[in-house]
Structure 1
Amino acid sequence: MTTEQQLKPGQRVERLRRAVGLSRERLANLSGLSATTVKFIENGRRSLTLRAAQQMAPHLGVRDLGDLFGPSVALSLGGRASHPAVDEVRRALTAWHLALDGEPESTDYLRGAVDSAWQTWHTSRHQRTAAGEILPGLLLATQRAARLHSGDDRRTSLALLAQAYHLAQAYLAWHGDRELVWLTVDRGMNAALDADDPLAIAQATWYAAHLLRAVGRGDEALERLREARSLIEPRIADGGPEWAEILADLHLCAALTRSRTGDQGAWSDWDTARSIVDRALPEGFVGLRTRVSRPLVNVYAVMCAVDLGDPDEAQRRAHALDPASIPSTERRGRHYVELARSADLEGAKEATLHLLARAEATSPETVRYSPAAQDLITRLSQESPASIRAEAVDLARRMNATDL
């Protein structure tokens, strides 16, 4: 018989979950994890990380994490890796310019600067370093313009300011203070609302929904996404491709949100997004800031299948998707991480390591700051067979896996 002290962390999670009367899906939704992650933690196929334990603990009635890890597990309190430019971005976000003078940059100039910043984010192999250099100046310029312009130019400046905050959110999403991420979401939404621009509001909602999902408020995220779609849908027929682009992106976000809670309804939202892209966007269309495109829709299909715990479907969806066709280096790196997660679901450690190495070669910073990639690398370095362990440890050292 297994004594209380001999229980593994996953067994402890399952016992506590049952004791408080939660299903795996409900615990996942409350904790901001996928139902598959909770399942695999409980059955031992995935290690319980400190981050996951902290997310689940309040909903399991746990105040001492030793109740989850047991007395024999040493915990590293080093925290998440943080990017060196976070302090400069924080200063830019929390600077209040009480007095401004001079002439603001023109809206045409600012639009070019914002578009260039997003292009850099999607094409650089080291997108966080590149964004960290751009963001302080971009935030200041768009903040000044929103304050100093008037009339239509002010509304346009506010919509561009919202985009600058969205880029800051993308930069901060996997590192830095959670409060800073909330700040970018709130500032971005307020700027979009002040601009009174449905496209800007819808895109701000897309970014807000990702954060709501990450903190276990998936139902709220879906409701906000429904509201945003109601702003866009009546304008699709008479609007340009950017309206269809944003509508498809909202459905893709809803699909991912549903899949993270094990809801097979994710495929309905995904199929709607695919239909919009196929029907309403020109062949070869790629959204400048969103990267919405036919390849991106297929990337989301792989992500949904992985989150739904279906590696066979993930591999089927990925079979015809050439990674080189994905119009974003950052997204391509994340796609390789998703394929690595799929291989991990099947216990294929060699394939998992190979795919993580491909992700690193594509976008090192995506791997270095992705919690999912870091978890995979850490476990591979500790649990791989001897034939690949040295390679796994080397990758973990290069990518600064935090639990080594």
Structure 2
Amino acid sequence: MVDQPLSPGQRVERLRRAAGLSRERLASVSGLSPTTVKFIENGRRSLTLRAAQQLAPHLGVHDLGDLFGPAVSLSLDGRASHPAVDDVRRALTAWHITISGEPERPEYLRGAVDSAWQTWHTSRHQRTEAGAVLPGLLDATQRAARLHTGQDRRISLALLAQAYHLAQAYLAWHGDRELCWLTVDRGMTAALDADDPLAIAQATWYGAHLLRAVGRGDEALERLGEARALIEPHVADGGTEWAEMLADLHLCLALTRARTGDQGAWADWDTARQVVERALPAGYVGLRTRVSRPLVDVYAVMCAVDLGDPDEAQRRAHALDPASIPSTERRGRHFVELARSADLEGAREATLHLLVRAEATSPETVRYSPAAQDMAARLAREAPASVRAEAVELAQRITSPPQ
């Protein structure tokens, strides 16, 4: 009798046990939730490339074929998948060693940065449009930070940090980890040089997302705690931007805890909810962060999904009108999260329906989301015959090379 080859989940379990790790410990160091690790091991969830990349260093794996099987050989180095990545990379590594001329005024740069973020949140093709403006925005803000002096330089540095944050948002799903780290480091350096607490807290928020993504959730929580201590003393008298930042930090804390299976995520989520409800005007929407009452509800769904509780995710989503989410990109991601919740329950028709809605909302959010790509690929193989053709078409649309 021929032995059946081990599934990827069985390989993960065998390597985890050989390394002497509990599921909870492996989840903590890899940035996944214990529920996700459990579902991968027992076959309820497929092992995605992204999850494999997060798990591999902690399982002693250097060739992803050790996880997927001997017929698969995958590099741990991601490849850029969006056509504008090369242009953004060149802008990030243009150091302006020699620089002259007149810099743009801070007022102009603020308008340009705000416009870029507005485009990110309102366009259905946010990555393509951001990729078109980022090289010029990075160049203008880098020049201004070098050429201005005094208060104008501090303002320019804070705006440069925002340009780096937008570059990180653009690059996050394109597999170029080194560029993501570069934007995080440059953004924090610019914020610290600006000596602006709000800019520093925002840079910490972005840094925490990357730390969490590479399995350094404990560090992310520490850094977020430091940023919270920096912001909290100013909230009572500092105006809406301080309260907005504090709420955003607590939302990031909540999601970071949820990704490691920590039910304490709900305490941070509730703190964010209270800050938004008590310290921000009704209908308030942060220009760059999109902090608002609907965004707090979006995070509740995300936390429930990452905690492996699809019933709670659906309960939280029931009262949330997707049309109220003040960002096309966030709305698309919300539908992806709902699809993940349906996927946890094995509801394949519902998963497909929600992915189609996500694609209709924001095609690029689905095309570049590792979770959406994984679900679509599995649906193309496993969906019931009645909807398999639609699943195959969806998978082909979101995996075909970008034009």
Above 0.5 in TM-score? yes
TM-score (norm 2): 0.96
- Quick one: which amino acid aligns to residue 192 of structure 1? A
Check conservation: 1:125, 1:364, Cα contact below 8 A.
Answer: yes
Residue by residue, what CA displacement relative to the aligned partner does 1:262-289 show, whole Å, maximum 9, x if unpaired?
0000000000000000000000000000
TM-score (norm 1): 0.96
Residue by residue, what CA displacement relative to the aligned partner does 1:204-245 show, whole Å, maximum 9, x if unpaired?
000000000000000000000000001100011110100000
What do you get for the CA RMSD once the two structures are aligned? 1.7
After TM superposition, the structure 1 stretch with the greater mean CA deviation from structure 2, 8-17 or 355-364, is 8-17
Instruction: Report the equivalent of 2:219.
Output: 220
- Structure 1 pair 119–65 and aligned structure 2 pair: CA distance change class (3 A): closer
Check conservation: 1:86, 1:176, Cα contact below 8 A.
Answer: no
Alpha-carbon distance in structure 1 between the residues aligned to 2:68 and 2:159: 46
* Structure 1 position 401, deviation (Å): 6.7
Alpha-carbon distance in structure 1 between the residues aligned to 2:180 and 2:48: 22
After TM superposition, the structure 1 stretch with the greater mean CA deviation from structure 2, 172-181 or 295-304, is 172-181
- Structure 1 pair 387–321 and aligned structure 2 pair: CA distance change class (3 A): same
The equivalences for 1:1-400 within 5 A come to 3=3, 6-71=5-70, 73-74=71-72, 82-400=81-399
Q: How many residues align?
A: 400
- Structure 1 pair 345–108 and aligned structure 2 pair: CA distance change class (3 A): same
Check conservation: 2:124, 2:364, Cα contact below 8 A.
Answer: yes
Check conservation: 2:332, 2:362, Cα contact below 8 A.
Answer: yes
Alpha-carbon distance in structure 1 between the residues aligned to 2:24 and 2:127: 33
Report SS of the residue matched to 1:351.
helix
After TM superposition, the structure 1 stretch with the greater mean CA deviation from structure 2, 232-241 or 79-88, is 79-88
Residue by residue, what CA displacement relative to the aligned partner does 1:293-328 show, whole Å, maximum 9, x if unpaired?
000000000000000000000000000100000000
Report SS of the residue matched to 2:399.
coil
Unaligned runs of 5+ in 2: none
Unaligned runs of 5+ in 1: none
- Structure 1 pair 52–342 and aligned structure 2 pair: CA distance change class (3 A): same
* Structure 1 position 176, deviation (Å): 4.5
Report SS of the residue matched to 1:305.
helix
Report SS of the residue matched to 2:263.
coil
Check conservation: 1:378, 1:401, Cα contact below 8 A.
Answer: no
* Structure 1 position 80, deviation (Å): 5.5
Check conservation: 1:50, 1:75, Cα contact below 8 A.
Answer: no
Alpha-carbon distance in structure 2 between the residues aligned to 1:66 and 1:116: 44
* Structure 1 position 125, deviation (Å): 0.2
Alpha-carbon distance in structure 1 between the residues aligned to 2:78 and 2:57: 19
Check conservation: 1:248, 1:277, Cα contact below 8 A.
Answer: yes
